[in-house]
Amino acid sequence: MKKNKHVIVISYDAFSKDNWESAKKKPHLAKLIAKGASTTQVRSVYPTLTYVIHSSYVTGAYPNKHGVFHNNPFQPFVPVDDQDWHWYRDVIKLPTIYEAATAKGLKTASNLWPVTGKAKIDYNIPEMKAVRGENQALKVLKNGSKLYSAMMELKFGKLRDGIKQPNLDDFTTACAVETIKKKKPHLLLTHLIDLDEHKHHHGTKAEIIEDVIERMDNRIGQIVHATYEAGIADETTFIIIGDHGQLDVHYKVYLNRLFKDNGLIYEENGEMHWRAYVQSADGSAYLHVKENDTEAKDFALKLLEEASNQSKYGIEAIYNRSQLEQFHVEDKFEYMLEAKAGYAFANEHDKEVIVDLHENGERHATHGYSPYKKGYTSNLIITGPGVKTNYQLKEANVVDLAPTIAHILELDFKAVDGRALTEVFED
């Protein structure tokens, strides 16, 4: 394999198999695909949520080992827009690939990569959202590389409009380009969210999705071009990977309303309390039960099993602990729910149990479903020194990313669950 000194990872959020035919015709991606290896068969982890997956990306491990089980910690009764997320590096229980790079003396950079708050990354703008009246820029500055974050904000902050898209990805791309040209990091992790955001709000088949794919290709082109300006193109490997698919949603299901109607969620002295609570992961959900409350667990399962026997609730499966072992779900969870295609779960306890989004004029898509849902895989492109040209990789898993980076940069990094995709490289 030819010498490789730099790896640039672009996490192309929600870049899934159904986008491949359109995306591969775009000029920048078409060149990368022709020059490298690719597949539309990337299997994700369960639940297929961004922060869970990105933790698997950097550890090469499944969620039961790295410990990030959801985008959000469990926060019953807190409105979604006010919830904290798993923003900070310390929630990941395992070593990361960027720390392995640092240990070798390599320069690392990260632009809006999830779960990197306060991470030991040389040039770090962590992905964070202001909640409950916080200031967005100050929150990022406080938890990232202060000087670097301040410089990027001063130079490119005018591109942003809070966390709105496409503005946010324009900002992230500008930061990545500047970082490549000025810092020449050996490992750069960049997270672009425009496609995911628009699928959520407009559905997977909306006309606007084609515009987003066009924008995404232009951003990728800018980042690739930056390596030429920096003089490092010939020694850089690009890895472009989609973390999950999305499925269109017709019905939202509020199972906590079912629990409230049956006394498992109740109000007392003006405060809400729970004995059992469904934490939505959109396409799936965790069942939480108060410790040692066997009665509540039995009753909650009875209600859920009765609901699963009625198609209107959209429950495809209730997974028990032995089944969750197969999904590599953390052992503190005894039960999870899987939604049928066309359905998604939500947290609120004060809505109707079943809401028809189309009846309300809404188009929506989401993820969080089982990685084994039909047609739900995502895409991967690897191109760089020593990568086979126009090579069709059969399949991959999101846990293979860190071991593959370690292979390219010759890092001392133990592959916990994933493997290096060595077949894409020339002997």
What confidence score (pLDDT) does residue 4 get? 79
Q: How far is CA 9 from the centre of its chain?
A: 14
Asked if the model's pLDDT at residue 1 lies above 50, the reply is no
Distance CA 65, CA 331 (A): 10
CA atoms within 13 A on the CB side of 147: 2
User: Which is it for the CA torsion 301, 306, 307, 310, positive or negative?
Assistant: positive
Architecture of domain 248-366: 2-Layer Sandwich (3.30)
Domain boundaries, the chain: 6-246+374-424, 248-366
Which two three-digit tokens encode residue 120? 């030991």
Which two three-digit tokens encode residue 305? 């099993």
What confidence score (pLDDT) does residue 313 get? 98
What confidence score (pLDDT) does residue 414 get? 87
Look-up of token digits 């030991």: 120
Asked if the model's pLDDT at residue 377 lies above 60, the reply is yes
- Quickly count: other Cβ atoms within 10 Å of residue 42's Cβ: 25
Q: Which of 8, 16, 104, 20 is nearest to 53 (CA)?
A: 16
Q: pLDDT tens across 158-200, in order?
A: 999 988 999 999 999 999 999 999 999 999 999 999 999 999 9
Tell if the pTM clears 0.85, that is, is over it.
Answer: yes
Q: Which of 276, 382, 413 is nearest to 29 (CA)?
A: 382
Q: Which of 127, 236, 242, 230 is nearest to 177 (CA)?
A: 230
Q: pLDDT tens across 275-301, in order?
A: 999 999 999 999 999 999 999 999 999
What confidence score (pLDDT) does residue 259 get? 98
Mean residue pLDDT of the chain comes to: 97
Q: Can you state the angle between helices 27-35 and 208-229, rounded to 10 degrees?
A: 60
- According to CATH, the topology of domain 6-246+374-424 is Alkaline Phosphatase, subunit A (3.40.720)
Long-range contacts of 229-236 (CB under 8 A, 24+ apart): 229/180, 229/181, 230/180, 230/181, 230/184, 232/5, 232/6, 232/180, 232/184, 234/385, 235/3, 235/4, 235/5, 235/6, 235/385, 236/4, 236/5, 236/6, 236/7, 236/8, 236/384, 236/385
What confidence score (pLDDT) does residue 3 get? 67
Q: Is 158 helix (H, G, I), strand (E, B) or coil?
A: helix
| pLDDT bucket at 47, cuts 50 / 70 / 90 | very high
Q: Which of 397, 421, 393, 410 is nearest to 63 (CA)?
A: 397
3-state helix, strand, coil in the chain (%, to 5): 40, 20, 40
Contact (Cβ atoms closer than 8 angstroms) between residue 153 and residue 138: no
